[in-house]
Amino acid sequence: GQQLNQSPQSMFIQEGEDVSMNCTSSSIFNTWLWYKQEPGEGPVLLIALYKAGELTSNGRLTAQFGITRKDSFLNISASIPSDVGIYFCAGPRNKVIFGPGTSLSVIP
Amino acid sequence: SQTIHQWPATLVQPVGSPLSLECTVEGTSNPNLYWYRQAAGRGLQLLFYSVGIGQISSEVPQNLSASRPQDRQFILSSKKLLLSDSGFYLCAHNPTAGGGYTFGSGTRLTVV
């Protein structure tokens, strides 16, 4: 079946550092979604991308829709402790498909 | 505005006991509804989805069942829980076609 891959699987960074993570697929998506899940909570939508090459920001977060339509990238600038969580990429088909997530830990 | 409610937030149940988790959505009609399970704080596994009252699709064979008795109510059940049913259960709906899902706050189930 269709799968999304995310890398890295986990990250441990110092507060203030920038973060980069990506999501890849073997098939094309017309929409890319990025979610953040904090411990003990449901995932929350951060950014939605609808067009190949699109670059969208939400505060310190920036996401890009890859031009091949098979990948997407999420960057977090100047990380802070509250950035801790699991970041999921997702792509809608008849149902939304989620990647396995990137776990981010920020060391104060 | 649209909101999605799940309860309870946490649940500890003995092996072999029944289960009923409830999810309700407000502010929308005829939503598509989904039950996910998340083990060990990682990937989201789709268990069931429903496009309307009484319409349930199962994604994976398992010890659980789902029902949709009302338009905005989605229930996850089990007759006899197994240890492997422990996990974080999330309900979701999709407010806009082609867009993402909105998730509830989840239920942490521990089977002992």
pLDDT digits (tens, 9 = 90+) for B46-93: 999 999 999 999 887 778 999 999 999 999 999 999 999 999 999 999
Q: What is the DSSP string of chain B?
A: --EEEEE-SEEEE-TT--EEEEEEEES-SS--EEEEEESTT--EEEEEEEEETTEEEESS--S-EEEEEETTEEEEEESS--GGG-EEEEEEE-SSTTS--EE---EEEEE-
Min Cα separation B111/chain A (Å):
17
Least confident of A88-97, B14-23, B64-73: A88-97
Please provide the DSSP assignment of A5-33 as one string: EEE-SEEEEETT--EEEEEEESS--S-EE
Q: Which of A90, A79, A80 minimizes the C-alpha distance to A45?
A: A90
Tens of pLDDT, residues A9-62: 999 999 999 999 999 999 999 899 999 999 889 999 999 999 999 999 999 999
Cis previous bond, A100, omega within 30: no
Residue B97: the pLDDT is 58
Among candidates A43, A86, A99 on the partner chain, residue whose Cβ is nearest the Cβ of B103: A43
**8 Å CB contact of B42 and A48:** no
User: What is the model's pLDDT at position A81?
Assistant: 95
Q: How confident is the model at residue B99 (pLDDT cuts 50, 70, 90)?
A: low
Rounded to an integer, the average pLDDT of A63-81 is 96
End-to-end CA distance of chain A: 40
How far does A64 lie from chain B, in Å, by closest CA? 16
